[in-house]
């Protein structure tokens, strides 16, 4: 579809969504759809919930955050359940500033942007529709028109509780433009837009000497004083501060704790009473979610200052730690690369995973359990199943350190080092070793890394390198075994024949001599030991295989090489162990013969076709694994 056609369709859709009518007509809408009168906090909560909620292992995953927030399901669950949900139910937490606290590049700004962009879209839906007094610069709730003495009756009739008072400007407009007839006041549907300053405000601190409180609360329009005769006439005031424009929606305070105190005191009344002071007017009602973000050092400094106690008591602090899952960290890097100019560079498989391993290791704290080292902890956090550990153990590990994930290497550092490697060496392809070298070289110039941390991080690079060595060997193992597919199938068939005879207490018949033979225990154990099946567990493992074969037979399906993941892994490892010498010779010889060259080409082709390598990275992998095997 042509882009101009899409723009036209969008414009037409916007026109269809528009609505305008009198206050009396708006009340008819409320009879049918009372949810239209929801508060700002309620609207945000319903927006998050409308994207879907998935229940997993006694936890809730809110799908709204899936697109851009990775590995922070529990932090997001806490945010929704402990702030947005109770605030939507008008509990006292809605009278608090939501302060997101976490390390740099941890996702705080991303989270706020998601909420703002989400609200812009949500107000275009029926469930998130927002109606306001037409012509009001603060998009005021039309229900503020209902006089205080009638609000109890209104609640009984409509089931809606009204909070807040009509603003000075609209009080005057009702009298001057509508002759006091509130039923005739025009109401329109509004759509939140940060660009158009509707329902979303953003305040960023600057030089305290030059920044004016008017940035928050609006200012007098001196050009109109002669016309209206007084500074206290609401028509002579610009209600264009960020607090005015964010009414009914979201107000973001960037780096809030860097703000001058005079800006923060305005928030005391706004959070607790739902109003703020502007110009020479009575208090102005505002319904908005105030969300701010800061890092831990600034927060600690803020609460240490006794003068800030009143404001501190009006905050709900939500930690936003770094992600602690390797697989999710990979997704962060993939996203950052997609959004960069290095997206066309070939990144060999497992490169980002190995970088993620290093990064996660820097964020983990040592467990109090002697049986759990950082590598085990890393694997358990990423959802791997390790023998002797359950979900309960993982939950206990997470409770050991409340501040785990609040320090360590940030994702930007990793992407910066990857970019630096590509640009400096003008590479078109990089692998895990390139990235690990670059991460190591950059530690000395990282401003916030102490010499003690640097030593620890160098150890983590070594650990990540060892993990990569195992991954690389397995990758080549799979590629070689793929080239020896027929041998793998033959070996498995032989194993299955012996397992069947063992479980049925039967004998095997030699196909050449016809001689009856006992099951080959040595062959079976040589395969089972590859995946850690102990002597005591061998009988249960073999019976499990036989049961699986029977289940396949009942369904009319053939049990083959791909039918049992653990058995396939065992066969591959056994075959690779037998082929190790072939691999060593094939990958390390400087002048391969015709047969060796053919084998190398087959393996390279498999790595390219089946595993995502290109020609350069596949050959580098083979050379590296050859050097590992020859040590």
Strand partners, 252: 202, 291
Structural domain total, the chain: 3
Query: Taking the mean position of all CA atoms in its chain, how far away is CA 530?
Result: 37
Separation of alpha carbons 611 and 573, rounded Å = 18
Residue 174 shares a structural domain with residue 292: yes
Give a yes or no: residue 313 inside a domain: yes
Cβ neighbours of 558 (radius 10 Å): 8
**CA–CA distances in Å: residue 312 to residues 192, 199, 252, 266, 304:** 29, 26, 17, 14, 10
Phi and psi at residue 318, in whole multiples of 5°?
Answer: -115, 115
Strand partners, 187: 21, 133
Phi and psi at residue 177, in whole multiples of 5°?
Answer: -95, -30
Strand partners, 69: none
Residue 226 shares a structural domain with residue 128: yes
User: Residue 549 has which token pair?
Assistant: 């074969």
Which domain, by its residues, includes 505? 481-576
* Predicted local confidence at residue 106, as pLDDT: 87
Give a yes or no: residue 589 inside a domain: no
Residue 133 shares a structural domain with residue 23: yes
User: Residue 236 has which token pair?
Assistant: 């002579």
The answer to whether the CB of 122 falls within 8 A of the CB of 47 is: yes
The answer to whether the CB of 212 falls within 8 A of the CB of 204 is: no
* Predicted local confidence at residue 588, as pLDDT: 62
* Domain boundary pick from 555, 576, 597: 576
Give a yes or no: residue 628 inside a domain: no
For 340, which DSSP code?
A: S
Cβ neighbours of 509 (radius 10 Å): 13
Three-state secondary structure string covering 369-411: CCCCCHHHHHHHHCCCCCCCCCHHHHHHHHHHCCCCCCCCCCH
Residue 315 shares a structural domain with residue 370: no
Query: Taking the mean position of all CA atoms in its chain, how far away is CA 74?
Result: 11
Q: What angle do CA 326, 329, 331 make, to 5 degrees?
A: 115
* Predicted local confidence at residue 589, as pLDDT: 63
Separation of alpha carbons 461 and 454, rounded Å = 10
Separation of alpha carbons 500 and 554, rounded Å = 17
Residue 339 shares a structural domain with residue 308: no
Query: What angle, rounded to 10 degrees, do the helices at 374-381 and 391-400 form?
Result: 120
Give a yes or no: residue 608 inside a domain: no
The answer to whether the CB of 435 falls within 8 A of the CB of 422 is: no
Q: For residue 44, what is the enclosing H or E element?
A: helix 40-50
Q: What angle do CA 161, 163, 166 make, to 5 degrees?
A: 125
* Predicted local confidence at residue 582, as pLDDT: 67
Residue the block writes with tokens 């010779």: 585
Phi and psi at residue 252, in whole multiples of 5°?
Answer: -100, 130
* Predicted local confidence at residue 425, as pLDDT: 66
CB neighbour class for 385 (10 Å; exposed up to 12, middle 13-18, buried from 19): exposed
Q: Where are the alpha helices (DSSP H) in 159-236?
A: 168-178, 214-217, 225-228
Residue 241 shares a structural domain with residue 134: yes
* Predicted local confidence at residue 592, as pLDDT: 66
Cβ neighbours of 304 (radius 10 Å): 8
Query: Strand runs (DSSP E) across 8-111, as ranges?
Result: 20-22, 53-56, 59-62, 97-101
Residue the block writes with tokens 């101009």: 4
Q: What is the CATH number of the domain that holds 250?
A: 3.40.50.300
User: Residue 583 has which token pair?
Assistant: 């691999």
Give a yes or no: residue 437 inside a domain: yes
pLDDT tens digit sequence for 351-393: 999 999 999 999 999 998 888 999 999 999 999 988 888 888 8
Separation of alpha carbons 451 and 229, rounded Å = 67
* Domain boundary pick from 319, 335, 362: 319
Give a yes or no: residue 278 inside a domain: yes
Residues 6+ apart with CB under 8 A from 340: 415, 419
Give a yes or no: residue 73 inside a domain: no
| Residue ranges of the chain whose pLDDT lies below 50 | none
Residue 523 shares a structural domain with residue 453: no
Residue 262 shares a structural domain with residue 119: yes
Separation of alpha carbons 184 and 23, rounded Å = 6
Residue 410 shares a structural domain with residue 437: yes
**Strand, coil or helix: what is 507?**
coil
Separation of alpha carbons 6 and 3, rounded Å = 5
Residue the block writes with tokens 């009984």: 156
Three-state secondary structure string covering 283-324: CEECCCEEEEEECHHHHHHHHHCHHHHHHHCCEEEEECCCCC
Residue 288 shares a structural domain with residue 378: no
Separation of alpha carbons 100 and 107, rounded Å = 10
User: Residue 343 has which token pair?
Assistant: 């997206």
pLDDT tens digit sequence for 316-363: 999 999 999 999 999 999 998 888 877 788 999 999 999 999 999 999
Instruction: For the chain, state the CA radius of gyration.
Output: 33
* Domain boundary pick from 545, 560, 576: 576
Residue 234 shares a structural domain with residue 353: no
Separation of alpha carbons 613 and 621, rounded Å = 9
Give a yes or no: residue 610 inside a domain: no
Residue 376 shares a structural domain with residue 333: yes
């Amino acid at each position: 579809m042509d882009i101009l056609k899409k723009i036209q369709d969008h414009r037409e859709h916007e026109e269809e969504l528009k609505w305008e009518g009198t206050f009396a007509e708006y009340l008819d809408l409320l009879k049918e759809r009372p949810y239209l009168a929801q508060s700002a906090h309620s609207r945000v909560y319903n927006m998050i919930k409308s994207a879907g909620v998935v229940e997993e292992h006694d936890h809730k995953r809110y799908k709204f955050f899936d697109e851009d927030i990775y590995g922070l399901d529990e932090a997001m669950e806490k945010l929704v359940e402990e702030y947005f949900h109770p605030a939507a139910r008008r509990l006292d937490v809605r009278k608090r500033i939501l302060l997101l606290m976490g390390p740099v590049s941890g996702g705080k700004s991303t989270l706020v942007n998601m909420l703002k962009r989400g609200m812009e879209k949500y107000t275009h839906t029926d469930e998130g529709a927002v109606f306001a007094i037409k012509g009001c610069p603060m998009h005021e709730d039309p229900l503020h028109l209902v006089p205080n003495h009638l609000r109890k009756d209104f609640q009984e009739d409509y089931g809606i509780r009204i909070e807040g008072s009509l603003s000075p400007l609209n009080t005057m407009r009702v009298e001057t433009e509508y002759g006091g007839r509130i039923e005739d006041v025009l109401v329109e549907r509004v759509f939140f837009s940060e660009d158009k300053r509707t329902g979303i405000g953003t305040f960023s601190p600057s030089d305290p000497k030059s920044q004016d409180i008017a940035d928050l609360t609006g200012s007098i329009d001196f050009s109109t004083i002669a016309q209206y005769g007084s500074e206290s006439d609401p028509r002579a005031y610009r209600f264009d501060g960020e607090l005015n424009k964010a009414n009914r929606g979201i107000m973001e305070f960037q780096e809030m704790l860097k703000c001058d105190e005079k800006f923060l005191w305005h928030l005391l009344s706004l959070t607790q009473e739902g109003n703020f002071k502007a110009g020479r007017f009575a208090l102005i009602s505002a319904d908005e979610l105030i969300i701010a973000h800061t890092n831990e050092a600034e927060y600690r400094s803020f609460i240490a200052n006794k003068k800030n106690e009143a404001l501190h008591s009006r905050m709900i602090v939500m930690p936003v730690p770094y992600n602690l899952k390797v697989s999710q960290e990979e997704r962060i890097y993939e996203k950052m690369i997609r959004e960069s100019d290095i997206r066309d560079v070939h990144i060999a498989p497992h490169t980002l995973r190995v970088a993620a391993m290093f990064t996660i290791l820097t964020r983990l704290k040592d467990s109090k359990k002697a049986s759990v080292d950082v590598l085990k902890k890393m694997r358990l956090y990423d959802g791997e199943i390790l023998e002797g550990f359950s979900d309960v153990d993982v939950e206990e590990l997470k409770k050991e350190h409340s501040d785990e994930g609040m320090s360590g290497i940030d994702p930007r550092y990793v992407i910066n080092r990857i970019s630096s490697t590509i640009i400096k060496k003008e590479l078109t392809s990089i692998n895990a070793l390139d990235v690990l070298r670059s991460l190591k070289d950059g530690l000395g110039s990282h401003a916030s890394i102490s010499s003690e941390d640097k030593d620890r991080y160098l150890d983590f690079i070594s650990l990540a390198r060892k993990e990569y060595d195992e991954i690389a060997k397995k990758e080549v193992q799979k590629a070689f075994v793929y080239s020896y597919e027929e041998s793998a199938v033959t070996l498995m068939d032989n194993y299955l024949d012996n397992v069947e005879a063992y479980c049925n207490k039967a004998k095997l018949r030699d196909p050449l001599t016809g001689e009856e033979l006992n099951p080959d225990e040595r062959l079976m154990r040589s395969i089972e030991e590859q995946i850690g099946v102990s002597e005591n567990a061998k009988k249960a493992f073999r019976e499990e295989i036989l049961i699986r074969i029977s289940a396949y037979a009942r369904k009319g399906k053939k049990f083959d090489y791909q039918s049992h993941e653990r058995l396939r892994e065992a066969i591959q490892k056994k075959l690779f162990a037998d082929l190790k010498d072939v691999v060593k010779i094939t990958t390390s010889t400087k002048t391969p013969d015709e047969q060796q060259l053919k084998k190398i080409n087959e393996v390279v082709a498999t790595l390219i076709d089946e595993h995502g390598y290109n020609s350069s990275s596949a050959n580098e992998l083979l050379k590296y694994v050859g050097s590992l095997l020859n040590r």
